[in-house]
C-alpha cells in the first residue's frame, strides 16, 4: 500500500515539476546578446538565459544603452554596465553574468564592451595647492577618455590632455558625453575641435 501511495505521489509531482517557468506582464524583451536577453518590468531590468529562466533578477542599476532604435541593457564580453549615484553624481561600472560587480562604479561614463575593450571616462583628482586659512587642499578634477579591458585596467588614454570638470551635482546633472568611438578591434576614432576626427590604433 505504501508503495502504491509513493507511486501516486510521484505521478502527481512530475507534471508540476515539468511546468515551464512563466514570466508575465513584461514591458520589454530584448534580443539575446552574449547568451542573455534583457527583460523589463516596472522600470527594472533583469536577464534571462536561452532557456527562458531568470539568470539575474530584477534590479534598478542596469544601464540601458541605445541598440539600433531601442534602449536596453546588454551583456558583451560577459560584462554589463551598471550605474551608481554618489552625492547625486552618476558613476559607471560593470557586472559579470553572475550579477557580481567586477568593475566597481568609478567612471563618469562608459560604453558597452566590444572585442575585449570599452571606452570610459576616468576621473582624476589633482591637488594644486593648499588653502592655509581653511587648512584644506585645493583640488581640481579632470577626466580622460580611456580604453579599459574587461578587468577595468586602463589600456590607453584617448585624450591625453583630459577635460576639467566640476564634481558637483548642480553642474554635473548628466554624465559627460563620450567623444570617441571604436571602429574596429584596435582602432578608435576621436572627435576633436570643429567636429574633426582623429583615428588611432590602440595596440
Please write the tens of the pLDDT for every residue from 101-144: 999 999 999 999 999 999 999 999 887 666 655 556 678 899 99
Mean pLDDT check: name the lowest of 18-22, 82-86, 181-185.
Answer: 18-22
105 domain residue, yes or no: yes
User: Per the confidence metrics, is the pTM higher than 0.75?
Assistant: yes
Query: Has residue 154 been placed in a domain?
Result: yes
Q: What share of the chain is helix, strand, coil (3-state, %, to 5)?
A: 10, 50, 40
> Who wins on pLDDT, 168 or 138?
168
- Confidence category of residue 8, pLDDT binned at 50, 70, 90: very low
Tell me: do 112 and 164 sit in the same domain.
Answer: yes
Q: What's the total number of domains in the chain?
A: 2
Q: Does residue 159 form part of some domain?
A: yes
Domain residues for the domain of 94 are 79-203
- Best CA proximity match to 67, nearest among 120, 112, 116: 112
11 within some domain = no
> Is there a single domain that holds both residue 115 and residue 48?
no
Both 155 and 85 in a single domain? Answer: yes
Cα first-last separation, the chain: 74
> Which position has the higher pLDDT, 185 or 99?
99
The region, left, alpha or beta by phi > 0 then psi within -120 to 50, assigned to residue 102 is alpha
Amino acid at each position: 500500500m505504501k508503495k502504491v501511495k509513493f507511486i501516486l505521489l510521484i505521478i502527481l509531482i512530475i507534471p508540476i515539476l515539468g511546468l515551464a517557468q512563466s514570466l508575465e506582464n513584461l514591458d520589454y524583451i530584448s534580443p539575446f546578446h552574449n547568451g542573455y536577453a534583457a527583460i523589463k518590468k516596472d522600470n527594472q531590468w533583469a536577464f534571462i538565459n536561452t532557456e527562458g529562466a531568470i539568470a539575474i533578477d530584477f534590479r534598478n542599476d542596469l544601464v540601458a544603452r541605445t541598440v539600433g532604435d531601442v534602449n536596453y541593457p546588454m551583456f558583451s564580453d560577459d560584462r554589463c554596465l551598471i550605474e551608481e549615484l554618489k552625492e547625486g553624481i552618476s558613476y559607471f561600472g560593470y557586472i559579470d553574468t553572475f550579477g557580481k560587480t567586477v568593475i566597481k562604479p568609478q567612471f563618469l561614463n562608459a560604453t558597452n564592451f566590444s572585442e575585449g575593450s570599452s571606452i570610459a571616462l576616468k576621473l582624476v583628482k589633482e591637488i594644486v595647492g593648499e588653502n592655509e586659512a581653511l587648512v584644506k587642499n585645493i583640488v581640481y578634477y579632470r577626466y580622460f577618455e580611456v580604453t579599459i579591458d574587461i578587468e577595468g585596467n586602463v589600456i590607453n588614454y584617448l585624450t591625453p590632455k583630459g577635460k576639467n570638470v566640476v564634481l558637483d551635482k548642480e553642474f554635473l546633472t548628466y554624465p559627460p558625453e563620450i567623444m570617441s568611438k571604436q571602429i574596429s578591434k584596435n582602432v578608435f576614432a576621436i572627435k576633436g575641435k570643429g567636429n574633426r576626427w582623429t583615428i588611432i590604433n590602440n595596440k
